[in-house]
Every structure is written in C-alpha cells, then in structure tokens.
Amino acid sequence: MIQNLTEHDREQLQEALGKSGQKVTPQREAVFTVLLAQRDHPTVDEVFQRAREVMPGLSLATVYNCLETFVGCGLVRQVNHERESTRYCPNLAPHAHFRDKATGRVHDIELPPEVLKSLRSILPPGFDSEVIEISFHGRAQSGEPTSN
C-alpha cells in the first residue's frame, strides 16, 4: 500500500533533481515514493520489490541509478553497516544509526547539535570533514518502536 507523493514531496523531488540538471521521471518518482512510504532503511532489493508493485517493468539497474542520483543530489542518505547491503534513508536531519543485533533493523537516533559539535572538535587541525557517520550496534529492547 504505497501512497502517492504529497504536493510538498513532489516539489522537493523536482527541486533537488532540477538543481543538478536532472529530470523527474516516472521511475524516479516511484522509487522516491517507496522511500517515503516506509521509512525503514530498505536495501536496494527491498526498494526494488516494493517499487515493482507499482511499476512492474522497473529494472533493478534503474533502482540503483535512481538511488545513486538521489544520494548525489542530497535527497537521501546511504547507510552502511559492516559489509551488509547498503540501505537508504530519506531522513536528512543529522542523526546517528543504531543497528539492532537481534533483528538487523536500523533505527535513527537523533543527534543534538552540541554532540555533533563536540565530535567535530576531536579532529586535529588540517582535517576537514564533510561527512560524519556514527553507528551503534547492539540490542534494542522494544517491540515495534522508531522505524524512522
């Protein structure tokens, strides 16, 4: 059950793609819709399965392409844990990830600005970081919480 994009979401897609000289296509819209519909950090393959329900002809290569495009224009973040399949996350606010050892599920953990700042402060002079990734790995004792 995949909702259509809201007006706002469609505009966001439109704008982000436009900024880097790319177009909204039905496939991109489908993939983006899938990402927003269920914010559970799906793998490429999961995105592929879900998007196919809506657009049966869609190919896996296109899903890879779309996701790469979205990452490139800042619409979506990649999440890697160890060497497992890459997952994707449309939460753009600064946050860390927690991977539940038991379920494999990934939870977003809010990252307060002061913590982010203290983290940046550990870089010696001369190190200039564009991206910081923080990931926890452990157990979450909770039935069905934050899947965002």
Q: CB under 5 to 8 A by kind: which of its own copies, DNA, none does 60 bind?
A: DNA
Name the nearest CA neighbour of 113 among 94, 85, 136, 87: 94
Please tell me the distance from the alpha carbon of residue 92 to that of residue 65, in angstroms, as a whole number.
20
Name which of its own copies, DNA, none residue 128 binds, using a CB cut-off of 5 to 8 Å depending on partner kind. Answer: its own copies
Residue 15 makes contact with DNA by CB under 7 A: no
Give the C-alpha separation, 37 to 23, whole Å.
21
Q: Which of residues 88-147 bind its own copies (CB under 8 A)?
A: 96, 98, 101, 107, 109-112, 114-115, 118-119, 121-124, 126-142, 145
Could you tell me the two tokens for 25? Answer: 């296509």
Which residues fall within 8 angstroms of residue 12, CB to CB, at 6 or more apart?
Answer: 75
The interface partner of residue 133, options being DNA, its own copies, none and the CB cut-off 5 to 8 Å by kind, is: its own copies
71 makes contact with its own copies (CB under 8 A): no
Cβ neighbours around 87 below 10 Å, total: 20
By C-beta, is 57 or 126 nearer to its own copies?
Answer: 126
Contact 85, 43 (CB under 8 A): yes
Question: Closest CB to DNA among 44 and 106?
Answer: 44
Residue 68 interacts with DNA (CB under 7 A): yes or no? yes
